[in-house]
Structure 1
Amino acid sequence: MLHALSSGFALGFSLILAIGAQNAFVLKQGLKRQHVFAVCLCCALSDAILITAGVAGFGTIVQQFPSLEIIARYCGATFLIIYALLSLKTAFTKKHSLELNQDTQYKLLPIIATCLALTWLNPHVYLDTVVLLGSISTQYPGLEFYFGLGAVISSFVFFFSLGYGAKFLIPVFSTPKAWKVFEVIVAVLMFAIALSLIKG
C-alpha cells in the first residue's frame, strides 16, 4: 500500500512540476494575492477528478476516441493565444502595483473561470493525469486506489506550495518593471504552449 501511495505521489509530482500555463497562472495569482486559496483548490480538485477518472479506466475511452484530444488541443491553443495577448496588453498598458492587488478588489468568478479554462482546455493535462497515470496505476493490481490517492495528494501539495510560496518572490516583483517583464514571459510561455498544441 505504502509503495503504491509513494509511487503515485512521486510520479504525480514529477509530471506536474514542469512549468506550464496552469502553473504560471497559479504563480501569478500567488504573487498578486488574488484568491490564492480558491485558485489552488480549483487546480488541485480538477487534478483529483482527472486522476480518479484515469485510475477508474477513463483513459481507455480517450484512446478509443482520439477526436476528443484533437478538439481539446485546438480549443486549448485558441484560449492560450487569447490569454497571451491579454498578458501582453497588460504588460504595456497597465500600471502594476502589489499594494493594489488585494483579494477584495477582484471578483472570484472570472479568476476561477480562467483557472478552469487553463486546466480543462489543456490536452496535456488529460495525457498526464487520465492516460499516463491511469495506465500506470494498472501496474498496482488491487492498489490502484492508493496509487491514485498518492498522485492526488501530490497535486494538493504542489499547488498550495506554489500559490502560497509565491509570497517569497514578492520583493522581486515590488517594482512595475518586474511585473511588465513577468507578463511578457507569461505571454511568451502561453504562445509557445499554444504552438506546441497546434503542431500536436
Structure 2
Amino acid sequence: MEKDLATEPTTRAETAAEPTTAVETAARETPGAHVTKADVARADITRAGAAKAEIATIERELRLVGRHSSMGSSSNCPPGDRLERSASLLLSRIELEGPLSIGQLADAFGLDASTINRQTAALLRTNLAERIPDPDGGMARKLRITDEGLRRLHANRAWATDGLGTVLADWSPDELATLAHALLRFNTTIEEKEGRPWPRRAEDAS
C-alpha cells in the first residue's frame, strides 16, 4: 500500500534534512513527538503569511519616512543651502570616488545619460561642480565637486544628522545599532541585486 506523504510521520533523518520550522523544533524538544508532512506544510504557510505581513509593514513605513519634517533642523541649514535629493546623491558619489564622467555617473545610478546631463547641468550652474579634463587622460571630461559643493553637501549632511539625532534621542545604543545594521543590510542587499554597489568608507561599512 502506498504511503500518504501528507500524513506519514517524518523520520528523524527526514526532519533533520528539511528546513527547521517551529513545529519541527518543538518536536525535537519533546521526546516521542511526531511531526507530519501536513504539520510542516501548515507551519511553513503560517511563516510565509507572517513574513508577507511584515514586508507590507516595512513598505508602508519606508513610504512614510520622507514626510517627517522633524528629520532635519531648518535652523542648522538655511534654505539657500539645502540641496535637492538628486544633487546630494550626485555630489556624494563624486566626493567618494573623485571626478566622474557623465557615463560613469549614469552607470552608477542606472539612469539615462540625458537624465544625468540635466541633473549635472544644475550642479554646474550653481557652482557645486565643475568640468575638468580626465586626470587619467581619457577623452571624456569629468565632473569634480567644488569647494562650494563640498561645503553645502557637508552642511546638508550635518543638518540631516542633527535632525535624526533629535528623532532618535530616546533610543538606546543597542536600538540605534540594530537600526543602523538593518538599514546597512537592506541597502547592500538592494545594491547586490541591482549590481550597483554604493562605495562606502571602511568606517561606514562596519
Q: Establish whether TM, by shorter chain, passes 0.5.
A: no
Which is helix-richer, 1 or 2? 1
Q: Normalized against structure 2, the TM-score is what? A: 0.30
TM-score using structure 1 length: 0.31
Where relative contact order (Cα < 8 A, 6+ residues apart) is larger, the structure is 1
Larger radius of gyration: 2
